[in-house]
Amino acid sequence: MSKTPLPDSDDINITSTLMTRHCLGIAATGGGKSNFLNLILKQQMMRGGGAIHIDGKSSKEAALEFLNLARQHDRWQDVRIINIADPDFSNTYNPLLRGDQDEVTSRIMELIGTKGDPFFRGQAARGMRAIAGILKVIGKPYNFGDLNVLMTNEAAMKQLLEDAPKATKEYSDFKIFFDQMTEIDPKTGKRKLNANKLQHTFGDLSSRLHSYYVGTAGRVLNSYAPEVDLYQAIKENLLVYVALPMLNKREAAVDFAKFFISDLKTAIGQIQNDKYKPHPTYLTLMDEFSSYAQPSLAPVFEQARSANVCLFPFIQTYSSLTDSEAGLSDDFAAKVFGNTWNKISFLLQEPESCEMMSRAAGEILKESVSESFGESLSFASGEDDSSALRTGGRGKSFGKSISYSYSAVVRPEDFRNLKDGEAIYIGRNSVYKLKVPLVILNKDNKTLDFPRFKMPKIQGLSVAERYQTLSELEM
């Protein structure tokens, strides 16, 4: 195995402006992703910047590392923690507070993804849109429990019709939807809920929403005045650690990550329209990105850049970005690749990722020179004496031909031969082989204490509290 054709660099400085260009990271397990992300975090904390770290392998230990890193750089007071698996070790957060009717609808619809019957999915989306619309004009904060009750309880739905301003389109839209879900009772002549229809429309969705109202996740996610607001967090350069319990509560973790990313998208959209932009560039580190990536994320890369928010999606394999089971595709992978100007690869194992990264590093034009030297002798036969050979001509030739061919800057196998701490950085115009320093984390402090806040009491929609439903009886 010959050496890579890359220069080894002692020090590579990524300019601050380049940090507004997103960075894709790729490595097999144990390749050094977490260490690299910690290195980035450390530097970001040092320069006073903010970051969201979405950790797919969340553990108490990882959260403690984050806290200690912040303590070490005098940033403890900026830490916020979102951990749906452990409400005692989490700030409160409600991903339903921001976004317009369509944003909230698509956020909720992520829950059922592209699975199931498209007709009922369409029905559910229309219903959800009607609810999100009327809630917007009512203007009170709501939570997962409220949505769940609004999808199952007639009295709660009627209450919305009473509370909403009547002269709005949102009111009429909801009224139309409500009428579709009801029928005239032949005995009384009054409208009553068609429970079957409602169940068909929202059955899947309402039970999923219910699981975010009860249990440990419920205690984190349903406050009307939560401690963490992403828009505010970005503006204030806060350090948000998001623990995803991917190992023990995979489905809930993935769903939650989708809510979170969708809320982040809304916050980024808002900042994009603001005069204010975070400074320095706000970082969003997304470990185990593929497990919660969704097609609607692709445009966020574009928006984030103009909001001065930089995304660091980190993956294990290229093919995880094309996984059709997860609703992803070649097109999605191409968008992520195309939108991340910086790429860093650590040790890779399977051939496709090696191939794709080699391609991302590009090709260089190689000059190859071939020289030829020739001598020729020709004879002419004489007419008079056929036995005698006379030299007819003698020539020498010298030829030099230069040909150009393309060859990979980094060959696929080079990615498979990276050692601990070695990485290949692929920038817009440059490729380097790097040695990434190992971040030594301070593990002495074992206290998991983090900033908590007493929030003002805010009157929310509270239909979940008011209407006794099956969902509540189960609590």
Ligand X SMILES: Nc1ncnc2c1ncn2[C@@H]1O[C@H](COP(=O)(O)OP(=O)(O)O)[C@@H](O)[C@H]1O
* Residues near ligand X (CB under 6 A): 27, 29-35, 420-421, 436-438
Q: How far is CA 353 from CA 28, 177, 325, 346, 412, in A?
A: 10, 48, 19, 11, 8
- How many residues line the site for Mg ion (CB under 5 A)? 2
Closest by alpha carbon to 123, among 109, 138, 141? 109
Judged by CB under 5 A, which stretch of 6-14, 34-42, 274-282, 333-341 contacts Mg ion?
34-42
Partner residues linked to 272 by β-bridges? none
> Which residue in the block uniquely carries the two structure tokens 């690299």?
36
141 binds, among Mg ion, ligand X, none (CB under 5 to 8 A by kind): none
Task: Specify whether the CB–CB gap between 256 and 244 falls below 8 A.
Answer: yes
Q: How far is the CB of 252 from Mg ion (least distance, A)?
A: 20
Q: How far is the CB of 33 from Mg ion (least distance, A)?
A: 5
Q: How far is the CB of 228 from ligand X (least distance, A)?
A: 25
Judged by CB under 5 A, which stretch of 25-33, 41-49, 104-112, 393-401 contacts Mg ion?
25-33
Closest by alpha carbon to 112, among 254, 249, 268, 17? 254
15 binds, among Mg ion, ligand X, none (CB under 5 to 8 A by kind): none
Task: Specify whether the CB–CB gap between 296 and 107 falls below 8 A.
Answer: no
17 binds, among ligand X, Mg ion, none (CB under 5 to 8 A by kind): none
Q: How far is the CB of 316 from ligand X (least distance, A)?
A: 8
Q: Looking at beta carbons only, is 128 or 344 nearer to ligand X?
A: 344
Q: How far is the CB of 57 from Mg ion (least distance, A)?
A: 5
Q: How far is the CB of 47 from Mg ion (least distance, A)?
A: 24
Q: Looking at beta carbons only, is 152 or 342 nearer to ligand X?
A: 342
Q: How far is the CB of 32 from Mg ion (least distance, A)?
A: 8
Q: Looking at beta carbons only, is 27 or 307 nearer to ligand X?
A: 27
- Residue with the CB atom nearest ligand X in the bound state: 421
436 binds, among ligand X, Mg ion, none (CB under 5 to 8 A by kind): ligand X
Judged by CB under 5 A, which stretch of 6-14, 33-41, 276-284, 464-472 contacts Mg ion?
33-41
Q: How far is CA 418 from CA 32, 261, 325, 431, 433, in A?
A: 11, 32, 31, 15, 9
**Any contact of residue 34 with Mg ion (CB under 5 A)?**
yes
Residue ranges binding Mg ion (CB under 5 A): 33-34
